[in-house]
A and B are shown apart, each in its own frame.
Chain A
Amino acid sequence: MTTDIQDARKKLQQAMNIAPAISCGIEELLGRSANGMTFVAGRKLGKQMTASAKKTTDVEEALAETRRVLEEHHCLWHFEPFIPSTQKEMVKQTEKGAEIMLVFRDCMIRQSLFRYGHHQKGSLCFMMYGFFSGALENIMGKKTELQIVHTGENACLKKLIIGS
């Protein structure tokens, strides 16, 4: 007889195998366009999940609202702003818009990729990039981009660009 927690774990582990398997398959089939496809899927999900989220143009509030929505949907995506020692403020204004570095720690995508043995920075990471773009676009009403700067074993570094 299995317990609730064993059932939940089993389902999670199955999902952790299926997601990267699909990702690996579409990358083989579509090449680089797989990233565009998962980006669009992630963006749609980000917009759906934040449909009733609080709107704000303040970056810190928008990030807090995204975190709240993720927690509400039981999504484990632990992220925090990173301020390099060469920079005083969290937000750096550039000609592209406002730039914020984000460190992603606990990430279900990274863990799924490791479990399946598939590389990072591929279509599943692009789905997450799409999710954040969609969510922040909804919350802030501005075009956003989340560039993958580095993918590591224990944390990843991303650059969030919010268009002016």
Chain B
Amino acid sequence: MVEILIKKEACRGCQICAEICPTDVLEYNAAEQKVFVKNAADCIACLSCTYICPSSAISQQDFHNVKNFYRDLEFSVKAKRYL
């Protein structure tokens, strides 16, 4: 399961992460004025919250990191043995 970490001291309570999350994983706590993880089990590791957070307060662990294909050609030769 994806582990979501929110740095409380960095969160400014803008809620943009909770708004963008497609599976309602995050919720706003009005008393604390911070966002917290309500339902980590539904996280699909889209990383939208992490990318959009203006305070870089969110990070994930134990998720599938997608493969990108736009590597340097020199690098491709070195990576060949792992393909």
Q: Which residues of A contact B (CB under 8 A)?
A: 2-3, 5-6, 9-10, 12-13, 16, 76, 82, 84-85, 103, 105-108, 110-111, 114-115, 149-150, 152-157
Contacts and interface: CB of A to CB of B under 8 A. Distances in A.
A85 B41 contact: yes
Contact of B69 (A2, A108, A152): A108
A82 B25 CA distance: 14
Interface of B: 22-23, 39, 41-42, 44-48, 50-51, 63-71, 73, 76-77, 80, 83
Nearest to B63: A154
Task: Name the residue in B47, B64, B70, B80 with the highest tally of chain A Cβ atoms < 10 Å from its Cβ.
Answer: B70
Nearest to A8: B76
Nearest to A5: B80
Given A9-B76, A115-B68, 19 more contacts: A2-B73, A6-B77, A9-B69, A76-B67, A84-B42, A85-B39, A85-B41, A103-B44, A105-B66, A111-B66, A111-B68, A111-B70, A152-B22, A152-B44, A153-B47, A155-B44, A155-B47, A157-B22, A157-B46
Contacts of B46: 150, 152-157
Contacts of A9: 69, 71, 73, 76
Task: Name the residue in B44, B64, B67 with the highest tally of chain A Cβ atoms < 10 Å from its Cβ.
Answer: B44
Contact of B73 (A10, A84, A103, A150): A10
Task: Name the residue in A2, A3, A85, A156 with the highest tally of chain B Cβ atoms < 10 Å from its Cβ.
Answer: A85
